Structure 1
Amino acid sequence: MKAAIFRQAGQPLEIEEITLSNPGHNEVLVEVAATGLCHTDLHFMDGHLPVPAPAVLGHETAGIVRAVGAGVSYLQPGDHVIGCLSAFCGSCHQCLSGHPSICEDQASINRDDKEEPRLMQAGSSVQQFMNLSAFADHMLVHEHALAKIDKAMPLDKAALIGCGVTTGIGAVMRTAKVELGSSVVVIGCGAVGLNAVQGARMAGALNIIAIDINADRLAMAKKFGATHVINSKTASPVDQVIQITLGKGAEYAFEAVGSPQLARDAFMMLRKNGTLVLIGLMSQDAEVSLPFMQFIAERRVMGCDMGSNQFRTDMQRLVAFYLDGRLNLDDMLTGRIPLHQINDGFDDMRKGQGIRTIIDFSIG
């Protein structure tokens, strides 16, 4: 099968042939229909975060089950599925207490060193990325990395739910639990930020303030539900947010870029008792400096791991919202390319072009 191989940070991905093992216990073979190009993949490609090489990246994906191994009862061949990087063991403290996105024993769903690797090339192991490795035309994964969905859902749109949509909406709905009538700030209007915007709309926020330096993305934020937009190239975002909220600040702020300075700015936009959720990935050594006196008024800072999702149920609900016309995915999908153009797609991402490009495995 063909896959885009990561071999070294800062270098293009290489399109090569690899082989998959046969499905083992609790494993599923999926024919990949579409995989989104996500900024998370780019962080690893550019060396901001480490990953062993060689590896097959890619994690925002959807496809069709083609075979299942022994012990699989949740899925059968022909099922349509979305992949999820927050695969779960199902038996640790976090899983059993309703927090599978921060599973404490995710390693238990991997093959051990005595077993044949799931991914191989010329007899050597290829690293599986985030339990998926979706920059390939097939995946061999544990069934706990998949969510079964309605076959009426277009798989190119379903792929988007696998990361950007679930993360952005989940950050609002599950991590922060935004309350009706609140003021919400979202810094960064890429795929995750736009979904935080529409998550705030779906949650009934009163003021939804989108901040970016890209005028096209700010225009897109209005389509997703922003009531106010701020171009931080031309205006002080902190001052503007305070003004829009009549001097009080916002109840919730979401930093969806991954910048310590923007995280600080977002914190300074908060109302007393407000909550900042850090969604954007930062490098391992990044530190965020915040003024202590602001904490006295009970302001909070929260991390966010893929929107605190419960993906087996959350993704089915998001699919239903899309099919019902309440979730905007069509405007998110701004490009589709064949696998061999994957590096061009990431070059466009570096330039800030488009919202979400997918690898469409039905073309070229």
Structure 2
Amino acid sequence: MVRAAVLPAVDSPLEIVDIELPAPGPGQARVRLAAAGVCHSDLSLANGTLRVPVPAVLGHEGAGTVTAVGRDVTGVGEGDRVVLNWAPSCGECHACSRGEVWLCSDALTGAGRVHARLADGTALHPGLNVAAFAEETVVPACCLLPAPAGVPLTEAALLGCAVLTGWGAVRHAVALRPGESVAVFGAGGVGLSVLQAARAAGAGRIVAVDVSPAKEELARAAGATDFLCARDTTPGEIRALTGGRGADAAVECAGRAVSIRAAWESTRRGGRTAVVGIGGKEERVSFHALELFHWSRTLTGCVYGNCDPARELPLIAEHIAAGRLDPGMLVTDRVTLDAIPAAFDRMLAGRGGRSLVVFEG
């Protein structure tokens, strides 16, 4: 039996209970978690913005140590330090054949499998394949990536989502070039990672925008050269900071219609905006035809940083080793499983960066 945070039904409070994990079957591995980040995607699963079979064990951003492997597992073994990959690519679908593994049509098919059971035998599903809100988990071996040497497992947990997403948003989604300016809307865990990645990419002006003035110190520590509190005049303020033209690029990390529109308006003619935040269907953004023609801006979605995790993690590790990226500084709260609901509340209130569940041992 292991302790886990279980979502009994959509939009219901999480329950911290004991669950029964099976032995790893063919192609599977069992992992003892060192830490798991509390991501806004977990909140989106809990409140129904993203679909999940219930009851489910949530959590997708984690790292730990392999304790057992099932039959036919290659490439990973007992004692290996690993980062969880919640969206493994199949390598065979149309998207994968084009090299767009982050859009793999089969990446989340495993989220519907029976992952574990409650003490009364009730089947549990893994929220995003890996069920990281538990002391231990059993996952397909394809969901495991080698943890970079020299990075503590507690910090390596953040590589599985926040760091990879922020890195990819800068490197791939908006393809930021040295000297260019960028505006980052939302200074939570992913937003702080975007700021770090922009600084590592050699950006010129890096403008952080958040609804909370308390985020300024954290944003500047992550790489922001300027900080603005979000309001109706934000796009104009960003244009004023960038020679009247607007930023070369913008990254939106909140998933809100108003901030998506503001991010787009903050860029210059021909500017690029990437939407990283996951919003609900009610968040509707509108544009008129003339402005689309005149501004010639690009607006794109960004899934998992538009990254191939297996290829990108070694590159990210090099930047961590060189001191250009610091996963640990994204964390403002280290908590236990019982405190995940409070971490959700902090996200909803726009307080702090990443909350990190740290498991004993």
Pick the TM interval, shorter chain: over 0.9
Q: Does 1:280 align with 2:277?
A: yes
CA distance in 2, matches of 1:317, 1:135: 27
Q: Deviation of residue 10 (structure 1)?
A: 3.5
Aligned to 2:115: 118
Contact map agreement 1:146 1:312 (CA 8 A) in 2: no
Contact map agreement 1:88 1:145 (CA 8 A) in 2: no
Aligned to 2:127: 129
CA distance in 2, matches of 1:103, 1:279: 17
Q: 1:144-293 maps to which residues of 2 (within 5 A)?
A: 144-233=142-231, 236-293=233-290
TM-score normalized by the length of structure 1: 0.92
Unaligned runs of 5+ in 2: none
Contact map agreement 1:89 1:108 (CA 8 A) in 2: no
Q: Deviation of residue 145 (structure 1)?
A: 1.4
Residue 64 of structure 1 aligns to a residue whose secondary structure is strand
CA distance in 2, matches of 1:290, 1:205: 28
Alignment-mate amino acid for residue 271 of structure 1: R
Q: Deviation of residue 96 (structure 1)?
A: 3.3
CA distance in 2, matches of 1:152, 1:93: 36
Q: 1:63-78 maps to which residues of 2 (within 5 A)?
A: 63-78=64-79
Q: Deviation of residue 308 (structure 1)?
A: 0.7
TM-score normalized by the length of structure 2: 0.93
* Percent identity over paired residues: 34
Which of 254-263 and 8-17 deviates more? 8-17
Counterpart selection for 1:311 from 309, 313, 316: 309
Task: Please list every run of at least 4 consecutive aligned residues from structure 1 whose deviation after the TM superposition is greater than 3 angstroms.
Answer: 47-50, 107-112
Which deviations, in whole Å up to 9, do the C-alpha atoms of 1:16-61 show, x marking residues without a partner?
Answer: 1211222222211111110011111112223333322101000110
CA distance in 1, matches of 2:108, 2:171: 28
Q: Deviation of residue 294 (structure 1)?
A: 2.6
Aligned to 1:86: 87
Q: Deviation of residue 89 (structure 1)?
A: 1.2
Q: Deviation of residue 264 (structure 1)?
A: 1.0
Residue 330 of structure 1 aligns to a residue whose secondary structure is helix
Counterpart selection for 2:355 from 354, 357, 361: 357
Residue 349 of structure 1 aligns to a residue whose secondary structure is helix
Alignment-mate amino acid for residue 191 of structure 1: G
The size of the alignment, in residue pairs, is 358
CA distance in 2, matches of 1:75, 1:6: 30
Which deviations, in whole Å up to 9, do the C-alpha atoms of 1:300-357 show, x marking residues without a partner?
Answer: 1101101011111212322332233221223211121222232233233333332111
Contact map agreement 1:110 1:142 (CA 8 A) in 2: no
Which deviations, in whole Å up to 9, do the C-alpha atoms of 1:198-254 show, x marking residues without a partner?
Answer: 111111111111111212212211111111211225x71111111111121112111
Q: Does 1:18 align with 2:16?
A: no
CA distance in 1, matches of 2:348, 2:11: 13
Residue 184 of structure 2 aligns to a residue whose secondary structure is strand
Which of 246-255 and 315-324 deviates more? 315-324
Alignment-mate amino acid for residue 195 of structure 2: V
Evaluate the alpha carbon distance shift between residue 207 and residue 96 of structure 1 in structure 2; reply closer, same or farther with a 3 A threshold. same
CA distance in 2, matches of 1:351, 1:238: 23
Aligned to 2:345: 347
Contact map agreement 1:118 1:140 (CA 8 A) in 2: yes
Q: Deviation of residue 151 (structure 1)?
A: 4.2
Residue 106 of structure 1 aligns to a residue whose secondary structure is coil
CA distance in 1, matches of 2:108, 2:349: 36
Residue 167 of structure 2 aligns to a residue whose secondary structure is helix
Residue 63 of structure 2 aligns to a residue whose secondary structure is strand
Contact map agreement 1:181 1:206 (CA 8 A) in 2: yes
Alignment-mate amino acid for residue 340 of structure 1: D
Evaluate the alpha carbon distance shift between residue 21 and residue 283 of structure 1 in structure 2; reply closer, same or farther with a 3 A threshold. same
Contact map agreement 1:89 1:144 (CA 8 A) in 2: no
CA distance in 2, matches of 1:231, 1:123: 50
Residue 277 of structure 1 aligns to a residue whose secondary structure is strand
CA distance in 1, matches of 2:219, 2:283: 28
Residue 90 of structure 1 aligns to a residue whose secondary structure is coil
CA distance in 2, matches of 1:152, 1:16: 33
Q: Deviation of residue 98 (structure 1)?
A: 2.1
Alignment-mate amino acid for residue 20 of structure 1: L
